[in-house]
C-alpha cells in the first residue's frame, strides 16, 4: 500500500493578486490530508473519501475532484485501466474552503502514487503533479496552495517562469485563529469574477493591484522583523483590498470584525473567498483562546493553529 500526505495552508497575504504575479505569503498549517493507494482487481480507480468536511463540501466538489484525480494519474503516467487502484483520503485537516483542502489532497495522492508504484518522485515533482491536480479544481491555479501543501513552512511565493518559492524564517511561530463561515465556496467562480471585473475596470484594478504588491513587501519585512502589530495592520489592509475586488462576503466580514473586536492584531479572509475561512493574528495562547471562544460563541467552527 502506498502512503502520502499534504499540509493544509493559510494565505496570509495576496490571494487572488498572486494569480497575476503579485508576491504573496502563505503558511502551511499543522493539519494534513493523508492518502493511501492500493492495487485492486477490476478496472479504473475507486475512492473512499474519509476526510471530515464542512457539510456539503464533498458533494459540491465531487465533479472537480474526479477531474483532478484523473489529471494527477495522467501526469504520473499511471493508467488505472491497466493498474486498477483504490484511493483513500483521511487525515486531520477538515475539508473546507480557504484552507487548502484540494491542494493537500492532490499532494497526498501524488506522494501515495509515487510510493505505491516506486516512482521515486522528488518533492519538486510531487509539487508539479499536485499543481496538475489543482487545475481540476481551479482551472488556472497560481500554484501557491500546492507549494505550501508540498513543502510546508512559511513561504514567499511569486508566480512566474519559474515561480519564486522562498522559505521565510521568523523568530518563532505565531498563533492564529481560523474561522469557518460554513459556506462552501467556488474558487473557480471567484477567480473568474476578478478577471472579468479587472478587464471591465482596468484603472481601478490596476491601482488596487499596485497597492497589493507594495503591501506584500511591507508584510514580508514586518514578518521578518517580527513586528506583529504591523503584520496585523497589514492583514487588515489586505482584507480591504480583497473587499475592493469583491471576493469577500458578509459572513467573512462578520468574522473579521468579531476577531478584531476581541483583540486580534489583524484579520482577513483567506483563500478564494465568497465563503470559506477567515484568519486572525492572535499571538500568544491567551489571545488565541479569547478570539476562538468569541467566534465559537457565534456558532462558527474554529481552528487554532500557528504560522511560521
Ligand atoms: C486560493 O487558495 C488562492 C487563489 O489565489 C487561487 C490561486 O492562487 O490559485 C484565490
* Ordered domains of the chain (ranges, CATH): 2-167 (3.30.230.10), 174-307 (3.30.70.890)
Ligand 1 geometric centre to CA of 74 (Å): 23
Q: Return the HEC string of 224-242.
A: HHCCHHHHHHHHHHHHHHH
Which of 145, 227, 236, 289 is catalytic? The answer is 145
Residue 278, pLDDT > 90, answer yes
Give the pLDDT confidence score for residue 20 in this predicted structure: 98
Mean pLDDT value across residues 79-96: 97
Give the pLDDT confidence score for residue 138 in this predicted structure: 84
pLDDT digits 0-9 by tens, 154-188: 999 999 999 999 999 999 999 999 999 999 999 99
Ligand 1 geometric centre to CA of 190 (Å): 9
Looking up cell 500568544 gives: 284
Among protein residues, the one with the nearest Cα to ligand 1's atom 10 is 272
Residue 29, pLDDT > 90, answer yes
Among protein residues, the one with the nearest Cα to ligand 1's atom 2 is 271
Ligand 1 geometric centre to CA of 188 (Å): 9
CA distances from 108 to 19, 51, 144, 183, 307 (A): 23, 12, 16, 24, 21
- Let me know: does 270 contact 178? Beta carbons within 8 Å: yes
pLDDT mean across residues, the chain: 97
Report which ligand 1 atom has the smallest distance to the Cα of 17.
5
Mean pLDDT value across residues 246-274: 98
Mean pLDDT value across residues 281-304: 98
Which three three-digit cell numbers place residue 201? 475596470
Give the pLDDT confidence score for residue 202 in this predicted structure: 98
Give the pLDDT confidence score for residue 129 in this predicted structure: 98
**Residue 30 annotated to the active site:** no
Q: Calculate the CA 42 to chain-centre distance.
A: 35
CA distances from 109 to 106, 127, 161, 258 (A): 5, 11, 25, 37
pLDDT digits 0-9 by tens, 118-159: 999 999 999 999 999 999 998 889 999 999 999 999 999 999
Q: Measuring from each residue's beta carbon to the nearest atom of ligand 1, which residues come in under 6 Å?
A: 11, 15-16, 18-19, 138, 141-142, 144-145, 187, 191, 271-272
C-alpha distance across the termini of the chain, in Å: 32
Q: What 8-state DSSP symbol labels residue 300? A: -
Give the pLDDT confidence score for residue 267 in this predicted structure: 98
Residue 194, pLDDT > 90, answer yes
What are residue 154's DSSP bridge partners?
A: 27
Cα(299)–Cα(278) distance, integer angstroms: 14
Mapped onto helix, strand or coil, the DSSP state of residue 141 is coil
Mean pLDDT value across residues 34-58: 96
Give the pLDDT confidence score for residue 209 in this predicted structure: 98
Cα(264)–Cα(252) distance, integer angstroms: 15
Amino acid at each position: 500500500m502506498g502512503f502520502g500526505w499534504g499540509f493544509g495552508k493559510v494565505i496570509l497575504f495576496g490571494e487572488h493578486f498572486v494569480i497575476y504575479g503579485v508576491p504573496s505569503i502563505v503558511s502551511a498549517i499543522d493539519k494534513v490530508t493523508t492518502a493511501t493507494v492500493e492495487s485492486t482487481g477490476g478496472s479504473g480507480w475507486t475512492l473512499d473519501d474519509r476526510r471530515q468536511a464542512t457539510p456539503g463540501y464533498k458533494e459540491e466538489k465531487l465533479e472537480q475532484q474526479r477531474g483532478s484525480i484523473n489529471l494527477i494519474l495522467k501526469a504520473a503516467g499511471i493508467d488505472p485501466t491497466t493498474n486498477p487502484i483504490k484511493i483513500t483520503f483521511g487525515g486531520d485537516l477538515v475539508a473546507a474552503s480557504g484552507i487548502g483542502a484540494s491542494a493537500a489532497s492532490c499532494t497526498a495522492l501524488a506522494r501515495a502514487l509515487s510510493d505505491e508504484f516506486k516512482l521515486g518522485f522528488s518533492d519538486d515533482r510531487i509539487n508539479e503533479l499536485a499543481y496538475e491536480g489543482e487545475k481540476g479544481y481551479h482551472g488556472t491555479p497560481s500554484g501557491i496552495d500546492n507549494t505550501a501543501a508540498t513543502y510546508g513552512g512559511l513561504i514567499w511565493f511569486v508566480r512566474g517562469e519559474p515561480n519564486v518559492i522562498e522559505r521565510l524564517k521568523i523568530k518563532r511561530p505565531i498563533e492564529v485563529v481560523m474561522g469557518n463561515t460554513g459556506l462552501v465556496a467556488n474558487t473557480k467562480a471567484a477567480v473568474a469574477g476578478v478577471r472579468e471585473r479587472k478587464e471591465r475596470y482596468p484603472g481601478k484594478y490596476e491601482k488596487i493591484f499596485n497597492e497589493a504588491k507594495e503591501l506584500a513587501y511591507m508584510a514580508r519585512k514586518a514578518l521578518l522583523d517580527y513586528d506583529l502589530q504591523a503584520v496585523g495592520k497589514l492583514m487588515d489592509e489586505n482584507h480591504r483590498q480583497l473587499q475592493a475586488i469583491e471576493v469577500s462576503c458578509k459572513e467573512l466580514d462578520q468574522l473579521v470584525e468579531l476577531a478584531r473586536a476581541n483583540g486580534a492584531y489583524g484579520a482577513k479572509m483567506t483563500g478564494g473567498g465568497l465563503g470559506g475561512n477567515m484568519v486572525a493574528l492572535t499571538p500568544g495562547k491567551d489571545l488565541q483562546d479569547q478570539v476562538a471562544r468569541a467566534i465559537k460563541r457565534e456558532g462558527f467552527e474554529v481552528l487554532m493553529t500557528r504560522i511560521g
